[in-house]
Amino acid sequence: MSKQALPVVDLQAVACCPPIAASPLDTAQAEVIAPMFKALGDPVRLRLMSMIASVPEICVCDLTPAFDLSGPTISHHLKVLREAGLVDSERRGTWVWYRVKAEAFRQLGLLLDMPARPAVEAGSLRGRP
């Protein structure tokens, strides 16, 4: 994984996006959405995201034991998710609590929405009779 820093994503900066199947993204839209996909492209972050999304909020103390990684490594992955605009966090005493930023996932869901297409008749693929 690259050591390049991800920019903090402002979900309000660019109104996102019609589904990819409806029209291509413009440059500004792609720049807002790409860091979210990049953050989710790591297996540890994807697992963290699924754990956070499965509950209203979760303490980092409940996330760390699920991985064979150090606390600082988990913290780094959580920071990447936060900077990508996917999660929000709140410090309470010595622990940090995480929750999903629902608007980010609504945007990703809308972007990936694929309309149902009519089934292709058997034999009509690639000019087969």
- Residue 91: CATH number of its domain: 1.10.10.10
Check residue 42 and give its pLDDT: 97
Q: What is the pLDDT of residues 17-43, one digit of tens each?
A: 777 777 888 898 888 889 999 999 999
Mean pLDDT of the chain: 83
* Residue 63 counted as domain residue: yes
pLDDT higher than threshold 90 for residue 115:
no
- Specify the number of domains making up the chain: 1
* Residue 14 counted as domain residue: no
Percentage of the chain with pLDDT > 90? 53
Can you tell me the distance from the alpha carbon of 5 to that of 70, in angstroms, rounded to the nearest whole number?
A: 20
pTM for this one?
Answer: 0.74
Q: What is the pLDDT of residues 41-77, one digit of tens each?
A: 999 999 999 999 999 999 999 999 999 999 999 999 9
* Residue 87 counted as domain residue: yes
Answer with the residue of higher pLDDT: 78 or 111: 78
Is 34 in contact with 128 (CB distance < 8 Å)? no
* Residue 23 counted as domain residue: no
Give the orientation angle of helix 71-83 with respect to helix 43-53, to 10 degrees. Answer: 70
Please give the residue range of the domain that contains residue 47. 42-114
CA distances (Å), 104 to each of 45, 61, 65, 128, in order?
15, 24, 26, 43
